[in-house]
Structure formats: structure tokens, C-alpha cells
Structure 1
Amino acid sequence: MTRAACFVIACILSAAAHAAPSFDDVRANWRSSDWLLLDRNGETLQRTRIDASARRGDWVALADVSPALREAIVVSEDKRFYEHAGVDWRGAAAAAWANLWNTRTRGASTVTMQLTGLIGDEGRKPAGRRSIGEKAQQTVGALWLERTWRKDQILEAYLNLVPFRGEIVGLSALSQTLFGKAPSGLDEREAALAAALVRAPNASYGKVAARACVILRDMNGLRAAGHSRDPDPCANLDSYAQLTLTRSAAAPALASGDEALAPHLARRIAGEAHPAAGERVRSTLDARLQRFTRDTLSRTLAELNARAHPRNVHDAAAIVIDNASGDVLAWVGSAGGLSNAPEVDAVLAARQAGSTLKPFLYAQAIDEKRLTAATLLDDAPLDLATGGGLYIPQNYDHDFKGWVSVRTALGSSLNVPAVRALVLVTPHRFARTLVALGLPLTRTGDYYGFSLALGSADVTLASLANAYRALANGGIARPFFDLAGHASAPAGQRVFSPQASFIVTDILSDNNARTRTFGFDSVLATRTFSAVKTGTSKDMRDNWAVGFTSRYTVGVWVGNADGAPMWDVSGVTGAAPAWNAIVNYLHRRVISRAISRAPDAPPGVVKARVAYQNDVEPARDEWFLRGTEMNTIGLTANAAAGTEADAHARRRERSQSAASPAASPDASPARIGAPTDGTIFALDPDIPPARQRVWFERTGGSGQLGWRLDGKPFSRDARAAWLPWPGRHRLELVDARGEVIDSVGFEVRGAFARTAAPAVK
């Protein structure tokens, strides 16, 4: 070689040295087409694609590529990759000789030569035959790369930069899109199919399968006839290639499995932070808790829709918040394949709160010293005039409990006492309290009226759970955070005093206070301390369970995203089991820092022994705001007289029911005493339907009298219980001959949707 030729080659190599980037530069400049949502520990939660020009995944280290794929690429593209110094001169000579005789053969470009085109300007040119000048430039670039890069770096960069099929660039995108797995898990057949796409990315299924078959045979060394009895690696390869390559056109994103754990939170963050392609955004979520919460909700939906007793429940959501920091540890906006609207983020959807607002109502009443935990409220029929008749809140069995303490009323979620408490607080002031807690009320309290006590306002699961977190934090409301690296928690706004928050928390954690409604063996009871409240909205559309431990606040919603009513789902059968499972998971470790403990009593509260006159409730120790404590609680003379009169009336009715037909001739005429004409019964959706009853009562009369409901005989008892059924009904009191003595019309507005009405007995 002349000195001039050597000088020219040296100049070309020097120019290539200045033009070619280093391996570290190429890897640092790689950008995924997605942005990644990470959990608090850096684990990938969700991929969201932004760059529509190409589909690229993360950079994959060669150590994380399956040996089968590395072998397939070398066998297919560059058999002497580990022998040459960038240019396969033997292959180039063979290709030139074949071209001279017009014989089709593989190109002479090595993996290194192809890589120079991928990292330089040529990588942006359309595929096709290259000019002699471009080939020369590619050759010089390959020689330089081999001098400055290691073989493993060359192969790693090639696998990450090479285009495959359609818009897919790089091994990560190919592996996730076509095979739904990481590159480390590709087997020989998958590796051969991937390698075949390098040579002809957009070829037909048949041509790709044929090329993959050649690669498989080379990998398995089946060229010799002596191996003909071995299993054929190409069996059914055509159909497999067609099935696999079809996925590339339909795949909407690279996310799969555990890389699709938080789609709803990712969408929320994308709308607020606008992350760029390739950006990694660290959230406050915990991947393991997020996965457990998602799976728990899916299992809950499956159980609620078991074939034997389908409940028409298709959606669920949950949120977990750290009490101290406000970090959101789990955010599941939708769960389960049963959903009719999986894109709806039910954590942020506004829905009626049901009974979950009652703790805030009682906390405000205690703070204002209008009530104490021991105060008696009358759980008796309360008639509120409405446009269509009388609105009568119901309890479990319509046999009202009478005088009950605030502790019993809140723990057992009794409706009438809550309405009476709101009368003291007023809807206007209570609405302002809810807004201060962060609940998204759009109207004033006067708009909602007294129904606000029973949760007629729309709230979101996120805002409701964070409001309960205020109780856990002694009455201070603070915002929550879903992104890591936020500033320290702000001072917040005090909504309730520490004393009122403590007393309400103590009630919500008292299993004895729940017994009248939920029994002793309730799913609301957890292994360690927790305070919880359930709620169900009108017509059984939404079911809630929200509560907190000493460290976490957990909120669960179950229902239908389209607003369809559920069937026979109560507070303890819908969201509560999932809530219980999540709380127990959070405190599953039996160590001191994982155990949830009841809060210490703050200064300003005192415990006193309380006794009730006439044994209205058993004597007990009770918490009071200092200065409001009392030792004996009784009823006023009028209230006691009313209670005694009610008891006497019930005893008289029972005696009349058991009396002989030969009654006194001067008995008063028979009439229907209850319900009155035009009554509207509003069933409580938070109560199991079997526990709710409407009572038919008669006054006066003698002889064989009976009830007829909607034209069908019902009962002959003077006082009969009926399992309510939504709709308008006609109740008749008839004599022995079936003649109508009295009749009333009433309506049941309820929460239970069923396929067929039960038979009237």
C-alpha cells in the first residue's frame, strides 16, 4: 500500500474518531417512547406512551438479554462477529463474487457496520441499497468502532437500536409488544422470530416464518442428515409467526402485567406534570401494596358476582394514605375484568357519601357542646314533610330503638338520631365543616337540607378518605400527595378539636357500639386498632368503607361506574371485606412499628362512669370534654311518660292480638293505625334487607280481622311485620267476610333492585 493510500485511510479513521460517539454517549442519549411512573422505591408501576413516531422501550443491558436471542442474532446477521475486527472480509469477498455472477446471497454488512448506520446520520435514511461511498463510510466507521468499543458493547447497542417491525425499535419494545415478556425470558423460537425480523421487518408472515426456520435449524445444528429423527423446530412455525406478529398492530402500549399497576394515577399525573418521553416520575405509591390492593378488589368483585348469588357489582376502587406524611401509598381507580368502564377513575368520581358523613356531624356537635358521647337521642319515627308525602328514615327492622346514646347511634349507624343531631348543628354550618375537610360540596347546606346527615352530598373517594385522615390526625385537615419529593406537610387547617376527634375515633373503634346493627362478629373488627365507618348511597348505587389505623387511612368504594344499582349489597358485604383485608395486610408484621395502637387521650378529655336511669343503656365508662361530664343520665318527665306510654300501647296491642273473637261490643271501630295514608318509607341501603321491616298496626275493632296487601291476603295479627318492596302499595284491613274496613296507600323508596318481586305471604 502506498504512503498516499495509508495517509488517506488514516485521515478517514481520524475523521471517524471525531464523528463516532462513545458507547456511554449512545446509551445516555437513548429515549424511550414512554414515560414511566415509578413507585417510591423505583419499581415501575405504569408505562404511558408519548412519542408516536416510534415505539421504544427501556435500554436493555446485554446481561439481561436471553442467550438464545444473542445466539440467534449472531447466527442470522454475523456468524463471524467474534472473529472479525469490524469488517468480515471473507463475507465481503463472497458477496462480491456472487454479485459478479448475479447470484443472490446475504449482504456483507456485519453487526458492527449496521450499528454505524444506526448511530449516525444514515440511521435516519430509508432502508435500501447503499451507494459505494456510503458503504465505504460504513466500513471505516465499523473499523473505528471495533477499536474503541468492546464486542459486548457493540452487540448491546445494536440490539437496542435496531428497528424490527412497523414502529417497533429496539429489543425491549419488541419483546414486550410481541411476546409480552422481558428480553431475558425469550426462548429459542421467539429469539429466531425476532432475529428474522431484522433482515425483513415488514415481510409477510410466511417469509418471516421461513427465515426464522433457517435460523432455528442453524442454531440447533440440524443441517446434517443424521439428525433427521430429532424433533423439527419449525413445526407449526407459520401459524405461530402469524399469531405473534398480529399482536404488534393491536398492542396499544408496552405496559403489561406489573407495568400496568396504576393507569389512573398515571393519567392524573400526566395531566398535571406533563412528563416527557423517557422521563421517570417517582410517585409515593408502594408497588407491593398497590398490587395487593388491586388483587383484593378483583377478588371482592368475583365473590360478589358468584354465579349462585350475583350482586350486579362491576367496579371497585381504593386509596391508602399515610396519616403522618399524606403520601398516597395505593391508588386503584378500577379493578377487575368485570368493569364496564375500566377507564373511569373511581377514586376521583363524585358519588353520594351515604352514612360516611355521620362521624363529622357528631364531631362537630361534640365540639359545639351540643352533644356528648353519652347524650340520649330519640330513635323514634321522625316525619319530615316532602313534596310527595312523609319522609320517614328507617332503621334495620323499623322497630325503632327508642332512646339511644350518641355512641350507640354513631356506632350502629342509626339514621333518625343523625337527623336529630343535624337539627342541632344546622345543615348550613355542617356543610361549611365538610368543605373545610376538603370535600367537594358544590351547594350550600340549605340546598341539601336535613338529608345531608344521611350523606346526600356527592364526594370523591380521595377526598372522603383524606377527611377521615383529619380525624386520625387530631382534627387537622391537610392535603395528600401522590408524587415523591414533595415538601414537608403544611400546617393544615384545624377543623375539629383534638378532644372531639379522639371521642369520635373511640366510638368508631368500639365494636360494642356497633352490635345493634352489625353484631359482635363483624367484618369491621380488625386484628389491631382501627376506626371505621361504612355507608351506602340511595338506591344501592355506592357502597363505602372508610377508616384509619394509627398509621394509615384506607378508603374502599364498591359499585358500578355507570351508576346502576347493586343487588342486596350492604355496608358489611360490599366494601368492608376488602377494607378489612387491606388494613390487615398493612399491619401483617407482628412487630412494634407495624402494630396499630389506639390514640392516647389528649388533655381536655376526662373519663367518667355513667349510669342511665330506667336502664336505657348499661352503665359504662365514657369520654367527655372537660366540663361536660356527668354520672347519671335520665329522661325528662315528658320523655319518660312518652316512653312508658309507648310501652303500654305495645302491651295493649299484644293483648288485643291474643284476645278471643268475642270482644267487648262497645270496642272502638277498627282502623289502620300505621302506616298512615300517603306515607313514604325511605329504606336505608346500608342495612341488610332482611333486617328492615315495615310494621302494619291496627287500632280498635274486634272479631276476625286481617290484612290484605296489594290484593293478596297477608296476615291476621294485630301487628304484622312486612319485608318492604320498592314501589307503591295498597294496604287493606278486612273482616272475616273479606269486606274492606279501612285502606291506605303508601310508597317504599328503597335501595334494593331484584329481578322478581318476592311472593306475598
Structure 2
Amino acid sequence: MAGTGKRRAPLVVDRRYANTTGAPKKAERRSSAPAPRGPRRKRGLIGGLVFGFFHLIWRIVWGVSWRIGAVVAMILAASTFYFYSTLPPVADLLDGRARGSVTLLDREGKVFAWRGETFGGQITSDTVSEHLRNAVIATEDKRFYRHFGISPRGIASAIRINLSEGRGPLSGNGGSTITQQVAKLLCLGVPYDPKAWKSEAEYEADCRTGGVWRKIKEVPYAMAMEAKYSKADILTIYFNRAYLGAGARGFEAAAQRYFGKSANQVNPSEAAMLAGLLKAPSYYAPTNNMERARDRARVIIGLMQEQGYLTAAEAADAIANPAHLSPAAAARAGGFFADWVMESGPESFTSKTTEDVVIRTTMDQRMQKQAEEALAHVFATKVKEGSQAQAAIVVMSADGAVRAMVGGRNTDGAGSFNRATQALRQTGSTFKPFVYAAALNLGYSPADFVEDTPLTMNIPGSGPWTPQNYDKTFKGLITLTEALAESRNIPAVRVSEAAGREAVRQVAQGFGIQSDLAAGPALALGASESTLLEMTGAFAGILNGGSAVEPYGMVELRLRDDPMPTFTQTGGIQQRVISETAAQYLTYMMAQVINQGTGTRAKLDREAAGKTGTTQAARDAWFIGYTADYVAGVWMGYDDNKPLTGVTGGGLPAEIWREVMMRIHEGIPARPLPMLIPEPRLPPGQSGAAPAREPAADPIENILRDVFGSFTGTY
């Protein structure tokens, strides 16, 4: 009872049935059954059939789907495990080039050109500039640190963009993550085999191709990389293997190539420009189109700001102060020179090198730029607009060290046709100095006389041959100096026949003219072919006192990581061809070409010697000459060998030569030429002085007479 403080007794239901072990009665069974749900809705015959059909389809689809999914998952897991087991250590993947590179230095040790694919050295994602790392992630894969190798959202977005722009679902934007891009760079683990591919470029093009199968294979490979390597490792591979235009493989090489600094020193604007190259390296290369590269960089700076890598103030500063090329990259000088060095050097260390090679050259970047500017100036001011005429220039020292080379008007065209070294053209009157060199070497004097009178020679097998002077006139008895200064053809033939064609041929070949020389008397008139480099080198031999030179551009070759050079060269002077006296006399004679002869338009503010040359129908025009310091050669003509209009060697080529020499001699004190002035002589037959020798015109007469004797008659 309440209030007693005792516990209430439990309530117990009265037993209604005595027999607890027996089966419950019917009423008890009903009380234990669930409550009725109400009347069930009848579907009818058609509804039941439809429901049953779709229910069956669903069960089939579900059954097939989960089985296919399970199979795909197993295949994906097996493929991922397979690729995982084949992935090497990160350090083995940083330099994937099949060939090496060549870095070319000028005479002062400064880089001016690169060839091959340059690898600037291994870098890591931790050592590069923070701005560069952020720029790459903001541009290429903003969810890089959150995905497992592939980005379904990125792929779906790329498919949507491609379809909206009328392309195939996997054409154009691929939605690739950085990990997938690295998988492409590694060619999904397939190494380059020179036997299976025509070139490394073809192999890499195949590795970059898209397509469904390629995308499918990328997935397990990318996932294997994510499992094998850290995010930092994947970025490191990417930073070292990505191609970034202009032959730069990896961001370190690209930073050095474009900005002259390491990838760990680039600022936000430079980092944005480098990251922009990933989309289309050649198209956005700043050496190709700086404005286009800067436009792309501005887009990336905006992405960096949007994703929080740059503040608004930092982004504004980066846009206001865009990246600039280094002086070497901006100059883009010496492309033809670099090509020539690569061609003339040993293939195993140049075009086919598997190592990284550094070559120090003779090139002077200041002179190279001045030569290019001089050529551009003359064509801009003296040549009619739209002219397709070409020109080439070579500048060298007296020992054959080439200082500048212009192989054509398009100075940006590395790898293009080099007219200074590859074009074999008739030399015309620039060959005449070798004729007079042969005579001077036999003891003739510049003051000796030769007849400029009509001459007809009978050429066996060809008949009569009658050379003509350029002006179709004759001057009678003139000195050898006058004959050369005025580039008279008939005297040149007479001197050649007197000295002997073989002597002339030996002199020309001795000075480095390597092509076949004409066998007949037209040899004296430059009927043979040569290159501008050969001809300029031959004139350098006259300047240095009569010794042949081998034009050279390579001073030292070494492997990049080896301080000791593999190859060195200190000079190109070789054997003596003519006496020093003959060389100095010839210099005097060629000085008169500029002072009072056909080359007056080449006159400088210092002593200079040279020779004009114009071939038949004016297909080639030359001027080659020198001061006490440098030799320069100029050629002008058309690539298709059609005649020039109103151009001779004493015209535009002489003016180009003058512009070049004026510029390269700025700040250099004038020095006298190494020349001998001959004692004047009276014409043969006049009294009061020893008679001058007169070279014979007839080869038979030349044989009969002592070439050291006096010729007093005319013939």
C-alpha cells in the first residue's frame, strides 16, 4: 500500500489457461499475428507485365554492371600493379633525351647559341622558384594535390568543351592532370628505340597522340605513379622532362635559355611565361613572338591571382613588369655561324652527340650584330622594296679565326641555307689577285707593264677565244697595278699565260680554293666556283704575309661536366704559298683598287685593300678586302642564279663591305697595311730607267723566254 514504505508487488496477469504446455488456442494465435496492412492494390494484367519486364531488365543490367565493374576493377588493379612494378627510381627519369646538346660560347665565353635539346641540369620541385611551381599548378592542374592521378571532373569538363566546339570528345582539351602529362612524357614506360623509329621526334609525337586507347592506358599508369611517387616527385619529373621550345628540355634549361638565370631565381612574370610554354612550346616561345608570349603570361598571372598564389598587388606588378629575354636570347645572333661550327666539327660531338657538349668559338657577338645591321641598312636604303636578292658576309682575322658570319638576309633562320659556306658561285674578278700573286711570286713588280690590247687565243677543241674588258675599250701599255685596280680582263689573261696557268692554279689552291679550277685561259677571269668563306680565307692569307689559312670557328670543345677540353685550336695559319714580298706588293696593288680603281665606294678612314668581282651577266657580285686588323668578304646574287640588275662588285657589295668595316672598326686605332710600294719604272723602250718586264701573252713565247728576263717588245 502507498505510504507504507514497502515495495509494491508486481502485477501479474491472471492465467486464463491451465495448460501452458499445450498449443495455444485459435484466439491466442490471432493475437500474436501482425496487424493487417489493408487491402493490396491490384496492378492488373498489363501493369504486371510491364512492371515485371522492367524489373527483369534492371536485374539483368545490375547483374551485368557489377560483374563488368568487378572485372574492370580487377584489370585496373592488375595494370596499376604491373606499371607500379616497372617504374624506376625518380632520378632515372629526369633526363630522358636520346641525344645530347651543344652550347656555343663566343670568344669571351658568353653563350650565344644552343643546338640539340639542352638539359640544364637536374632540379626538384622543392628547389625551383615558388612562383614557378605555383604557376605550373595554377595553369595545368589546380586540383593536383587532391586527386589520385586522374580527375573525372576535369575529363568531363574537357569532353563538354570539345563537344561544344564541334570536336570529338577526346580531341583538343584532354582534361589531363599533371600526372597524366608526365605519363605521356614517359611514353607510358616505352623507351626510345632507334631501330623502331625514324627519329626521336617521331617517337615523341607518337607518345603525345591522343585517342581512347591511349587515354585508357594512361589511367593505370598515372595511378601507379601516384602510388609509387610522392606529389613532389611527380612534379620533379615534370619540371625536368617537359619540352619548352627553342630546344630547351626542362624548366632549368628554359630559364637559362630565355632569361639567363636558373629556374630557382625566376620572378612571377618570368614564371608565368615559362608555364605558358607548356600549352604550345614553339608557338608561345618568347624568341618566336614576344608579344604572344606576354599575352599568354598575363592569362596565367590572372589564374595565379584567382587561385590565391598572388595578391592583387603582386599580380598587377607582374603584369606591369613583363619578362624580358636575356641579352644572348634577345640578340639571336650567330645562327649561321653556329650552324657552320656544328657542320665543321666532329659529328660525334656535334650533330650526333649523346653527351652535353660546350664549344667555345671565335665568334665576336658585337661584330656579328654589326655585320647583320650593316646588311639590313644597305638593303633598306639602297635596294628596292620587295627585292629577292640575297647576300652573305664573312668577317675574320688574318689567322682565319671567323668573327662573324651572315649566311643570308633572314638572320633568324637557323638551319636554313647558308650562302657564306654552302653556295658555290663563280668568283669573277675576285680571282684575279691569285693571278697577280703568281706573277709577283715569280719576281714581277707591280710597276711592270702589260699590254691591254686586243687578244685572240686558239683554244684546242673550242676554236678562237677573244676576251673582252668590261668597258669594251683598250688602254694599251699599263702597269700591273693599273690592270688590277681597273680590273682589266685582257691584261689578267696575259699575266696568267706569262706566269703559267699551273702556277696560278697552285697559288689559288694553296690559299684554300678547293673547287675544280678551270683548265683554259678563262681561269684568270674567275670562271671557277668557290664559296665566300673560302675566298675570304684566301685573302686573309695575303694579309698575313702569304701563308695559307684554314678558316676556323671552334677554339675549344669539352664535355659539360669535364673541365678538361677534348679538342683545342689556337690558329689556322698553315704553309706558305707566296713570299712575303709578293704578298706585300699584292696588298699595295689591291689598295689602289679602293683608292682609285673599281672599289672606290669601299673607301674607309684608314688604309684598306680589296677586290671587286662581277661574273658573266652579273649573276654574282663580290667585294673582298681587308684592313690591317680584319678581312671581310661580301657576296650578292639570287638563289636561282638569275642576273642582278644594275649591280656590280664595285656597287652594292662594296657599300655593304664599307658599312661592315666601318662598324667593326669603331674604337680601333687605324694601322697601316703591311704593303710594299714598288719603285716606278718606265715603259719598255724608253730610256732613263731599267726597262720593266712585260709578261708574255703567248704561252709558247712564255716557254721560250725566261720569265725573269725583260720583255721589250709588244705582241
State TM-score, norm by structure 2: 0.58
Counterparts of residues 233-632 of structure 1 (less than 5 Å): 257-258=332-333, 260-262=335-337, 264-265=339-340, 268-269=343-344, 272-273=347-348, 274-276=351-353, 279-282=356-359, 283-307=361-385, 314-324=389-399, 326-336=400-410, 343=417, 345-369=419-443, 371-384=444-457, 391-396=466-471, 398-443=472-517, 447-449=519-521, 451-485=522-556, 486-489=568-571, 492-510=574-592, 514-515=595-596, 517=598, 522-590=600-668, 595-599=670-674, 610=680, 612=682, 632=689
Secondary structure at the aligned position of 2:646 is classed as coil
Deviation, 1:26, is 6.8
- Compared CA separation, residues 615 and 276, structure 1 to 2 (3 A): same
Aligned to 2:284: none
Deviation, 1:502, is 0.8
CA distance in 2 between partners of 1:510 and 1:214 (Å):
63
- Compared CA separation, residues 633 and 379, structure 1 to 2 (3 A): farther
Deviation, 1:498, is 0.7
- Compared CA separation, residues 474 and 64, structure 1 to 2 (3 A): farther
Contact 2:149–2:179, Cα closer than 8 Å, also in 1: no
Give, as a single letter, the amino acid of the residue that structure 2 aligns with 1:74. I
- Compared CA separation, residues 163 and 399, structure 1 to 2 (3 A): closer
CA distance in 2 between partners of 1:31 and 1:162 (Å):
11
Secondary structure at the aligned position of 1:550 is classed as coil
CA distance in 1 between partners of 2:495 and 2:179 (Å):
80
CA distance in 2 between partners of 1:302 and 1:441 (Å):
34
Aligned to 1:219: 304
Secondary structure at the aligned position of 2:513 is classed as coil
Secondary structure at the aligned position of 1:359 is classed as helix
Give, as a single letter, the amino acid of the residue that structure 2 aligns with 1:348. Q
CA distance in 1 between partners of 2:672 and 2:103 (Å):
33
Contact 2:598–2:612, Cα closer than 8 Å, also in 1: no
Contact 1:315–1:338, Cα closer than 8 Å, also in 2: no
**Greater gyration radius:** 2
- Compared CA separation, residues 214 and 478, structure 1 to 2 (3 A): closer
Secondary structure at the aligned position of 1:527 is classed as coil
CA distance in 2 between partners of 1:114 and 1:218 (Å):
20
CA distance in 1 between partners of 2:152 and 2:411 (Å):
58
For residues 452-474 of structure 1, give each alpha carbon's deviation from its aligned partner in whole angstroms, at most 9, with x where no partner exists: 22212222222211211111121
CA distance in 2 between partners of 1:97 and 1:298 (Å):
54
Contact 2:105–2:113, Cα closer than 8 Å, also in 1: no
- Compared CA separation, residues 490 and 558, structure 1 to 2 (3 A): closer
Contact 1:509–1:529, Cα closer than 8 Å, also in 2: yes
CA distance in 2 between partners of 1:196 and 1:407 (Å):
65
Contact 1:265–1:331, Cα closer than 8 Å, also in 2: no
Give, as a single letter, the amino acid of the residue that structure 2 aligns with 1:504. L
For residues 377-436 of structure 1, give each alpha carbon's deviation from its aligned partner in whole angstroms, at most 9, with x where no partner exists: 23233344576876242253x443333222222222222222221231122332232222
Give, as a single letter, the amino acid of the residue that structure 2 aligns with 1:495. V
Contact 2:150–2:179, Cα closer than 8 Å, also in 1: no
CA distance in 2 between partners of 1:487 and 1:193 (Å):
42
- Compared CA separation, residues 350 and 196, structure 1 to 2 (3 A): closer
CA distance in 1 between partners of 2:342 and 2:149 (Å):
55
| Range that drifts further, 493-502 or 278-287 | 278-287
- State whether structure 2 residue 137 is matched by structure 1 residue 74: yes
Secondary structure at the aligned position of 2:490 is classed as helix
For residues 543-569 of structure 1, give each alpha carbon's deviation from its aligned partner in whole angstroms, at most 9, with x where no partner exists: 111122223222111111221111110
Deviation, 1:192, is 7.5
- Compared CA separation, residues 305 and 34, structure 1 to 2 (3 A): farther
Contact 2:445–2:678, Cα closer than 8 Å, also in 1: no
Contact 1:536–1:570, Cα closer than 8 Å, also in 2: yes
CA distance in 1 between partners of 2:412 and 2:104 (Å):
27
Contact 1:332–1:347, Cα closer than 8 Å, also in 2: no
Deviation, 1:530, is 2.3
- Compared CA separation, residues 367 and 26, structure 1 to 2 (3 A): same
Contact 1:34–1:48, Cα closer than 8 Å, also in 2: no
For residues 481-535 of structure 1, give each alpha carbon's deviation from its aligned partner in whole angstroms, at most 9, with x where no partner exists: 2322234447722211111111111221236x742545xxx22222333221111
Q: Pairwise CA RMSD of aligned residues?
A: 5.6
State TM-score, norm by structure 1: 0.55
Secondary structure at the aligned position of 1:610 is classed as coil
Contact 2:550–2:573, Cα closer than 8 Å, also in 1: no
For residues 26-68 of structure 1, give each alpha carbon's deviation from its aligned partner in whole angstroms, at most 9, with x where no partner exists: 76x464867335143455555555xxxxx87756979999987
- Compared CA separation, residues 192 and 322, structure 1 to 2 (3 A): closer
Deviation, 1:438, is 2.1
CA distance in 1 between partners of 2:280 and 2:551 (Å):
48
Contact 2:139–2:300, Cα closer than 8 Å, also in 1: yes
Identity across the alignment (%): 24
CA distance in 1 between partners of 2:185 and 2:467 (Å):
76
- Compared CA separation, residues 63 and 611, structure 1 to 2 (3 A): farther
Secondary structure at the aligned position of 2:554 is classed as coil
CA distance in 1 between partners of 2:672 and 2:100 (Å):
43
CA distance in 2 between partners of 1:298 and 1:64 (Å):
44
Contact 1:476–1:496, Cα closer than 8 Å, also in 2: yes
Give, as a single letter, the amino acid of the residue that structure 1 aligns with 2:596. T
CA distance in 2 between partners of 1:362 and 1:330 (Å):
29
CA distance in 2 between partners of 1:360 and 1:122 (Å):
62
Secondary structure at the aligned position of 1:276 is classed as coil
Contact 1:68–1:191, Cα closer than 8 Å, also in 2: no
Aligned to 1:641: none
